[in-house]
């Protein structure tokens, strides 16, 4: 599976959009980009995933660059409850294994 690179930490003001970047320059054509988050003392929570098109759900939007070498997770109106560690994971189709890196610790500032 492709390796991902994320900034270790970010801050965002409450009510603003939080944009979390992820680099995955070695991604191959059949590999998906997944985002999970882990709020303190809880199990990881699935947010969104995509292959090459931008995706949106009730939690977030995922923007994948045309060359697929990077992506951005967007939380449109961050709240204090969005404070968590966010993990970007790349995994191949049919591969159920998720390899969690160190993620980005997002802190929402009141």
| Site membership for another protein, residue 102 (CB under 8 A) | yes
CB hemisphere CA count around 28 (13 angstroms): 6
- Lay out the site mask for another protein across 59-98 (x = CB under 8 A, - = otherwise): ----------------------------x-----x--xxx
Can you tell me which of 25, 45, 54, 65 binds another protein, judged by CB under 8 A?
Answer: 45
User: Where does this chain touch another protein (CB under 8 A) — which range of 3-11, 16-24, 38-46, 69-77?
Assistant: 38-46
Closest CA to 90 of 19, 22, 21, 8: 22
What is the distance between the alpha carbons of residues 5 and 71, in angstroms, rounded to a whole number? 11
């Amino acid at each position: 599976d492709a390796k991902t690179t994320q900034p270790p930490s970010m801050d965002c003001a409450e009510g603003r959009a939080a944009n979390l970047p992820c680099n995955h320059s070695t991604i191959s054509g059949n590999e998906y980009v997944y985002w999970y988050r882990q709020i303190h003392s809880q199990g990881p929570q699935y947010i969104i995933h995509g292959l090459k098109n931008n995706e949106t759900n009730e939690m977030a939007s995922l923007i994948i660059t045309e060359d697929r070498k990077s992506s951005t997770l967007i939380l449109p109106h961050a709240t204090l409850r969005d404070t968590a560690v966010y993990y970007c994971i790349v995994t191949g189709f049919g591969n159920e294994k998720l390899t969690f890196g160190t993620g980005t610790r997002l802190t929402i500032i009141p």
